[in-house]
């Protein structure tokens, strides 16, 4: 079983930065693909960024060149550095993880609110 705990959300002005952290428990972190999702009010949850244990990353187009996902397997931690934030980035951000052998994300954090004011 894997537990994920996010931190680092908050209120920031447009153009500002935030860094989200996701701490994972469990000994299988090294085989997990980890990701950040977000859900804005009235919208579906969307994948923002993902990273494999080997460091391969992918991003949704709307955050490319602004957000950076990273991880430290030794610390069982994943980060999302968010720069040049826009009001449309406002959402609840969730950390997620899955075994690399399956397609669906099995493990989810409780979410952290990110609010970007204009």
Rounded Cα gap, residues 63 and 34, in angstroms = 17
Phi, psi (rounded to 5 degrees) for 61: -55, -35
22, 18, 19, 30: which is closest to 6 by C-alpha?
22
87, 115, 100, 109: which is closest to 37 by C-alpha?
109
Rounded Cα gap, residues 106 and 93, in angstroms = 16
When pLDDT is cut at 50, 70 and 90, the band that residue 100 belongs to is confident
Neighbour-count burial of 15, counting CB atoms closer than 10 A to its CB (0-12 exposed, 13-18 middle, 19+ buried): exposed
Report pLDDT digits (tens) over 10-28: 999 999 999 999 999 976 7
Report pLDDT digits (tens) over 62-85: 999 999 999 998 899 999 999 999
């Amino acid at each position: 079983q894997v537990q994920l705990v996010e931190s680092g959300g908050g209120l920031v002005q447009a153009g500002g930065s935030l860094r989200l952290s996701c701490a994972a428990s469990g000994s299988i972190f090294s085989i997990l693909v980890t990701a950040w999702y977000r859900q804005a009010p009235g919208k579906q949850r969307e994948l923002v960024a993902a990273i494999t244990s080997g460091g391969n990353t992918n991003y949704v187009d709307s955050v490319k060149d602004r957000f950076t996902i990273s991880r430290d397997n030794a610390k069982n931690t994943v980060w999302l550095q968010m720069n040049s934030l826009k009001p449309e980035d406002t959402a609840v951000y969730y950390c997620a993880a899955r075994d690399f052998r399956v397609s669906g994300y099995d493990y989810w954090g409780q979410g952290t609110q990110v609010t970007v004011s204009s």
